[in-house]
Amino acid sequence: MSGAANPSANGMGSKTAPYMLILPAILFAFWIIGYPIYDLANMSVHSVNRFGVTTTFNDFNNYSRLFSHQLFVGMLVRTLIWTFGVVVGTIVLSVPVALILNEKFFGRQIARIIIMLPWAVSLTMMAIVWRWSLNGQSGMVNATLYQFGMLQSPIEWLATAGTAFPIEIAVGILVSIPFTVTVFLGGLSSLPSDIFEAARIDGASAWQRFRYLTMPLLKPFLNIVLVLNFIYVFNSFPLIWVMTQGDPANSTDILVTWLYKLAFRYGELGMASALSVVMFLILLALTITYAMLAMRNERRN
Amino acid sequence: MHKTGTRRVLSLLAGAAALVGMSTASDAATIRVVLGYYSAATQGLFEEMAKDYMSKHPGDEVKIEVIQWDNLQQRLTTDIAGGTAPDISMIGTRWLLDYVKNDIAEPMDSYITPEFKAGFIDAFLAPSTLDGKLYGLPIAASARAMYYNKDLLAKAGVNEPPANWDGVVDTAKKIKALGGDSYGFALQGKEIETDAYWYYSLWTHGGEIIKDGKSGVASPEAVAALTLYKSMIDDGLTEPDPTGLNRQDIERLFKQGRVGMILTGPWLRGQIKDEAPTLNYGIAPIPEGTTKATYGVTDTLMVFKSSPNKELAMKFLTETVFTPEWRIKFSKAEGFLPVMKEEAKAFADDPQLKAFTDMLAYAHFAPAVANWEQMVDAIIAALQKTYTGQSQPEPALKEAAATIDGLLQQ
Amino acid sequence: MENKLRKSLLLWLALSPLIIIILFPFAVMLSTALKPPLEVLVYPPTWLPTELHWQNFSAMWEAARIGPAVFNSTWVSLAATAICLVVAIPAAYAAARMEFRGLKLFRQFLLVTQMLSPIVLVLGIFRLMAKMGMVDKLPALVLAYVAFNLAFSVWMLQAYFQTIPRELEEAAKLDGASAFQRLRLVFLPLATPAIGITAVFVFIYCWNEFVLAMTLLRSPEHNTLTFQVFSLVGGRYQIQWEQVMAATLVASLPVAVIFAVLQRYLVSGLTVGAVK
């Protein structure tokens, strides 16, 4: 980033050139992303019927109806459980997996490809296959349990929140591992190997090397992965929508699935737009956190 | 006298001009018909109707589009909002109220003759008549009944299908006593129509979903209706974990011969014929509680007010879709009940269908109220909470009732 | 050598639970897709079909309209990827190579748009498209996909562009090459791998996207593959699982193969992009 110090680096010469170059991207974003944000914000403070006609300013009635809705708190709590569950689970599993994949062993390339596989397959397909696998009467999960004699009568895995929600979290973890492992692998490969060599010569055990060298050095990557995963998972819609659609009795509903129901099933456009704005603000707060973390990293580097 | 004459001539001319204008425009006059998916046959059936119509009216085009029922209402709502509504759509009849209220549905009376109207069975025309005006024509009608597995019941020592709920419980207990992996009574616990499965019990116990403008789902009758199902689950008289099974799942159990009794509609006959031809089953009325009842459902074809081709759209309906020839083909392929008198004659000698049509006298229809989908979800949530043991029938239903009352006041 | 073998066995053993769970859905797809329809729903369920019923694939292809869906997905994804790159490359070049007022603001702007997912704005996007008369039109999806991938693409590309040494361009400049020639002859050839990797990520995103397709598309003949397969499951009274599994297999395999082949490049590419 030495461009400022080096005037000749200004490749295109003209002063307006950089603006012309970024202009299309900015226009695009304002058009397709910016306008909807404005429209949602506007709708959220007006009365609106189910066919989308807005009328009068309604004194934040949409927001008060949203916050006082009997399902709202439950949705929020489940969203937090879902997000923390997936993010924490992903990281706890990804660190050892990345450490293993960073070792040299036979078939490492194949192992890497397999672990990355869920990344290539869409969440929708994953969810469809798992939904079918977990079918109580004919699914392959129960088939496997029967075959090993671990099951006498069918278990309906998706019939109660007690099993359905943890399973959805587990599938969420499964599909989040590839990205997380990738970032950790990138981090591990950037670590200077001579320090580890030195530590080994000094007689540090493997655990000590992990605890006092690897972990602190991976910390910046950990921060990034935490925030990015948090945002992805918070926004994750297809898994739950396909597997249970929030059933039974809203016990697997989270904010995004509820938002979709409010907007497109119930025609509650006022509450839906208010919820969109609330979620946008939550994401914005997370983004700012991320930006601050990233900046701190940059400074350290 | 002279004046009115001129005016008539003028208006005739204007009409002719409009006709000329229309016929040039009608080179491209296309009517779009949106339909709900009943079965793999739906698309082909309506495409043939369209072909038939187009061959009689060259120049007009009828475009058929079939989509999933779960997405249909959402689809239409957003289409209306986006100004891309079709000309004709199939809808659940209860949605009409919303559309009429928001001035979206076109009244049909001025397009049809009294004879055409008289051709329908009155009971099916009633739900789409609002404030004395007809807003839709019933395309499909069904009532529900109880299918029972004759072999399984006989094995349990029951030779006549139970006529009331006590009998159902008793029979289910005997089937349970047989052991094995067969269940007495199928109970649907998730997805579309989970609520309907409970209405059978609600109505036969004398309850109502909405009564005098207020929710009736927490009435003593309603609590009794749900308590009955809950106790059957607890006693192992249904399949385990009903909230894991949707309508297809329980129907499959029946087709596999693994459940004694199931409440459902006429379509299951067709599926059994194809997939389980050896199944020995019978059809009986919905079990009685304090009274007789069944669930009557009609789906309706309506014309949108926004359509530029309303005249044409109505022609397609009156000249093709609702002719005895096409009605009979439709009802045969989809397994619904006849809605026209002429059509009904073709099915007069089908005893199984009679089991359903006999129930029509006791049919209850879903209430025509706004925000119905949200009420359904509240009811389903209450049922699922009870079925999973998360809540007792009464508090769960009270919660749903509060939601429904709130929505009714909107 | 023997030591490495032992270590390899141990490490594979440690990974095996995860690997089994990852491969499980693929085994289920294969098993169900090859079963005769009447065996799919038997109780108790079994893994192996009594005969390999390949007809499921042809039945699925016809009954489930997979052909048109594959076509739609392909052209939407290709168009979105191309437009996205055309818009993103100049912006990334500016962000990587030029100093200008507002650069920092531009980067923050990118960050914020990158954090937004379609689901949060889906209602607003639907209304925008309805206003433009683009509901049920595939170009609406292309526009939305471009918008939601721009930030990511610019971010990735500029991280890469920064790793391309300036010296080559400076040398070309001394040789009298114009700015445009430098860009075309020196910079772009060096940036090709980065552009390729970005393109693959954008393509996979578009190929797999679900929420926008579900919301914006109307006619079955416009469905993209992901949404078409979902519509075989969602809201149906009858689900033909053997066909659905055949369809998921067909939908997943091509992308999985591309991903497996390019895995090494994609992973190293993303690391540069994500961490910078």
Task: Report the pLDDT value the prediction gives residue A10, as an integer from 0 to 100.
Answer: 44
Q: Is residue B56 part of a domain?
A: yes
Tell me if B129 sits within 8 A of B248, measured CB to CB.
no
Contact B189 A248 (CB under 8 A): yes
Q: What angle do CA C203, C206, C210 make, to 5 degrees?
A: 155
Task: Report the pLDDT value the prediction gives residue A298, as an integer from 0 to 100.
Answer: 66
Residue C209 is inside which H or E element, if any? Answer: none
Domain identity same for C31 and C93: no
Task: Report the pLDDT value the prediction gives residue A49, as an integer from 0 to 100.
Answer: 77
Residue among A94, A79, A168 nearest A131 (CA): A168
Contact B75 C218 (CB under 8 A): yes
Interface pTM, i.e. ipTM:
0.89
Contact C234 B275 (CB under 8 A): no
Q: Is residue B140 part of a domain?
A: no
Q: What CATH number is attached to the domain comprising B403?
A: 3.40.190.10
* Tens-binned pLDDT, residue by residue, of chain B (410 aa): 344 444 444 444 444 434 443 434 444 588 999 999 887 788 889 999 999 999 999 888 999 988 877 778 878 887 887 778 899 999 988 888 888 888 899 999 999 999 999 999 888 888 889 889 999 999 998 889 999 999 999 999 999 999 999 999 999 999 999 988 899 999 999 988 899 999 999 999 999 999 988 999 999 999 999 999 999 999 999 999 999 998 888 998 999 999 999 999 988 988 898 888 999 999 999 999 999 999 988 899 999 999 999 999 999 999 999 999 999 999 888 888 889 988 888 888 888 888 888 888 888 988 878 788 899 999 999 999 999 999 999 999 999 999 999 999 87
Measure the CA–CA gap between B173 and B184, rounded to whole angstroms.
7
Q: Is residue B403 part of a domain?
A: yes
Contact B256 C43 (CB under 8 A): yes
Tell me if B99 sits within 8 A of B86, measured CB to CB.
no
Beta bridge partners of B281: B149
The CA distance from C28 to the nearest CA of chain A, in Å, is: 7
Average pLDDT over residues A169-186: 91
Nearest by CB to B240, from A49, A154, A249: name it: A154
Task: Report the pLDDT value the prediction gives residue A14, as an integer from 0 to 100.
Answer: 66
Domain identity same for B332 and B287: no
Amino acid at C61: W
Domain identity same for C9 and C78: no
Sign of the dihedral defined by the CA atoms of residues B217, B221, B222, B223, in that order = positive
Domain identity same for B48 and B83: yes
Domain identity same for C143 and C209: yes
Mutate to test the interface with B, among C43, C129, C210, C218 (most CBs of B within 10 A): C218
Task: Report the pLDDT value the prediction gives residue C236, as an integer from 0 to 100.
Answer: 62
Q: Is residue C87 part of a domain?
A: yes
Domain identity same for B150 and B120: no
Domain identity same for B130 and B246: no
Sign of the dihedral defined by the CA atoms of residues A9, A13, A15, A21, in that order = negative
All residues of chain C having their beta carbon less than 8 Å from the beta carbon of residue B79 are: 135, 218
Tell me the per-residue pLDDT of B352-406, one tens digit each, with 9 for 90 and over: 888 888 888 888 988 878 788 899 999 999 999 999 999 999 999 999 999 999 9
Q: Is residue C60 part of a domain?
A: no
Contact C236 B71 (CB under 8 A): no
The CA distance from A250 to the nearest CA of chain B, in Å, is: 7
Contact A52 B252 (CB under 8 A): no
* Percent above pLDDT 70 for chain A: 94
Task: Report the pLDDT value the prediction gives residue B26, as an integer from 0 to 100.
Answer: 41
Domain identity same for B266 and B324: no
Tell me the per-residue pLDDT of C166-210, one tens digit each, with 9 for 90 and over: 888 888 888 888 877 887 888 888 888 889 989 988 998 899 899
Mutate to test the interface with C, among B37, B268, B271 (most CBs of C within 10 A): B37
Please give the residue range of the domain that contains residue B126: 2-135+297-363
Residue B321 is inside which H or E element, if any? Answer: none
Please give the residue range of the domain that contains residue C19: 2-55
Tokens of C6: 């032992």
Q: Write the DSSP symbol of residue B263.
A: E
Average pLDDT over residues A102-121: 88
Task: State the residue for tokens 């998730």.
Answer: B190
Polymer length in residues for chain A: 301
Domain identity same for B393 and B319: no
Residues 256-275 of A with CB under 8 A from B: 261, 264-268
Amino acid at C212: L
**More confident of the two residues C234 and B152:** B152
Average pLDDT value for chain A: 86
Amino acid at B103: D
Domain identity same for C129 and C10: no
Contact C220 B66 (CB under 8 A): yes
Task: Report the pLDDT value the prediction gives residue B325, as an integer from 0 to 100.
Answer: 92
Task: Report the pLDDT value the prediction gives residue C1, as an integer from 0 to 100.
Answer: 64
Compute φ and ψ for B301, nearest 5 degrees. Answer: -100, 125
Domain identity same for C37 and C118: no
Tokens of A263: 């907007």
Measure the CA–CA gap between A193 and A103, rounded to whole angstroms.
13
Q: Is residue C188 part of a domain?
A: yes
Residues of B engaging C, defined by a Cβ cutoff of 8 Å:
37, 39-40, 65-71, 75, 78-79, 81-84, 181, 192, 247-248, 252, 256, 258, 267, 271, 275
Mutate to test the interface with C, among B30, B33, B46, B68 (most CBs of C within 10 A): B68
Measure the CA–CA gap between C229 and C234, rounded to whole angstroms.
9
Peptide bond into C44 cis (omega under 30): yes
Contact A25 C11 (CB under 8 A): no
Amino acid at B65: E
Domain identity same for B205 and B334: no
Domain identity same for C140 and C269: yes
Measure the CA–CA gap between B16 and B173, rounded to whole angstroms.
74
Domain identity same for B316 and B291: no
Tell me if B145 sits within 8 A of B284, measured CB to CB.
yes
Task: Report the pLDDT value the prediction gives residue B356, as an integer from 0 to 100.
Answer: 87
On the question of pLDDT at A301 being above 80, the answer is no
As a three-state string, the secondary structure of A177-220 is HHHHHHHHHHHHHCCCHHHHHHHHHCCCCHHHHHHHHHHHHHHH
Average pLDDT over residues C106-132: 88
Residues 6+ positions from B389 with CB-CB distance below 8 Å: none
**Given CB atoms, is A33 within the 8 Å cutoff of chain C?**
yes
Domain identity same for C37 and C133: no
Amino acid at C114: Q
Domain identity same for C96 and C207: yes
The CA distance from B97 to the nearest CA of chain A, in Å, is: 13
On the question of pLDDT at C259 being above 90, the answer is no
On the question of pLDDT at C114 being above 90, the answer is no
Measure the CA–CA gap between B404 and C2, rounded to whole angstroms.
71
Contact B275 C43 (CB under 8 A): no
Task: Report the pLDDT value the prediction gives residue A300, as an integer from 0 to 100.
Answer: 64
Tokens of B361: 């006298």
Tell me the per-residue pLDDT of B29-82, one tens digit each, with 9 for 90 and over: 889 999 998 877 888 899 999 999 999 998 889 999 888 777 788 788 878 877
Tell me the per-residue pLDDT of C54-83, one tens digit each, with 9 for 90 and over: 988 988 888 778 889 999 999 999 999 999
Tell me the per-residue pLDDT of A20-35, one tens digit each, with 9 for 90 and over: 889 999 999 999 999 9
The CA distance from C114 to the nearest CA of chain A, in Å, is: 9
All residues of chain C having their beta carbon less than 8 Å from the beta carbon of residue A126 are: 25
The H-assigned helical ranges of chain A are 17-29, 35-44, 61-67, 72-102, 108-120, 123-133, 140-147, 161-189, 193-201, 206-209, 215-234, 238-243, 255-260, 269-300
Contact A249 B377 (CB under 8 A): no
The CA distance from A279 to the nearest CA of chain C, in Å, is: 7
The CA distance from B38 to the nearest CA of chain A, in Å, is: 20
Amino acid at A192: P
Domain identity same for B404 and B275: yes
Structural domain count of chain C: 2
Both ends of chain B: CA-CA distance in Å?
54
Domain identity same for B206 and B246: yes
Q: Write the DSSP symbol of residue B161.
A: -
Q: Is residue B162 part of a domain?
A: yes
Structural domain count of chain B: 2
Measure the CA–CA gap between C209 and C82, rounded to whole angstroms.
17
Task: Report the pLDDT value the prediction gives residue C235, as an integer from 0 to 100.
Answer: 60
**Given CB atoms, is A285 within the 8 Å cutoff of chain C?**
no
The CA distance from C258 to the nearest CA of chain A, in Å, is: 8
Which pTM was predicted?
0.84
CATH tag, A63-300: 1.10.3720.10
Domain identity same for B172 and B35: no
Task: Report the pLDDT value the prediction gives residue B7, as an integer from 0 to 100.
Answer: 43
Domain identity same for C206 and C164: yes
Domain identity same for B108 and B20: yes
On the question of pLDDT at C271 being above 80, the answer is no
Contact A24 C23 (CB under 8 A): no
Task: Report the pLDDT value the prediction gives residue A3, as an integer from 0 to 100.
Answer: 38
